[in-house]
Structure 1
Amino acid sequence: MDEYNKIELKYIIYKTEELLSLAKNRYKITIQVANRAKRRKYEDIDIVDDPINKPIIRAILEIVDEITKPEILSE
């Protein structure tokens, strides 16, 4: 998860747009991102106080990586 430290705003916007373009159903992807962010918020106490990487941003980046790089999941 070190790659998510101090993420630039342009990168976040790019990844969000990429996720929206890959999503077949925007409502479904929105719910998935919200649920993952909520889970992360309560599972990992360290990220709650992180002013740079909010749980919602982490969730968006993780979901985009899962969709675009399925080899990550196979490892």
Structure 2
Amino acid sequence: MQNINEYNKINSNQITYKTEELLEVANNRYKITVQIAHRAKRRKYEDIDIVDDPLVKPIIRAILEMVDEITQPEIISD
């Protein structure tokens, strides 16, 4: 999994590109949207003791993580 500091370097154009990349591989846009929302909600409450970077909101982090998992399947097989 990517380091959170790497996410800090991502600008809004890259986030948009990654979101489109995720939606392209999704069979169902509604389902992927719900999955992202659930992951973001879990992350928000799991990381409650960690000071969140205001630039990397839980929803953005969830999108980036899901794109990484789809484009780099080796990170979840470890």
TM-score, normalised with respect to structure 1: 0.90
Q: CA RMSD in A?
A: 1.2
Match of 1:63 in 2: 66
d(CA) in 2 for partners of 1:74, 1:20: 22
**Paired-residue identity, %:** 72
Query: Could you list the runs of 5+ residues in structure 2 that have no partner in the other structure?
Result: none
Query: Could you list the runs of 5+ residues in structure 1 that have no partner in the other structure?
Result: none
TM-score, normalised with respect to structure 2: 0.87
Within 5 A, what are the aligned runs for 1:1-75? 1=3, 2-45=5-48, 46=50, 49-75=52-78
d(CA) in 2 for partners of 1:51, 1:31: 22
Structure number having the greater helix percentage: 1
Stretches of 4+ aligned residues off by more than 4 angstroms: none
Q: Which structure exhibits the higher relative contact order, with contacts defined as CA atoms closer than 8 Å and separated by 6 or more residues?
A: 2
d(CA) in 1 for partners of 2:10, 2:57: 11
- Give how far 1:59 is off: 0.2
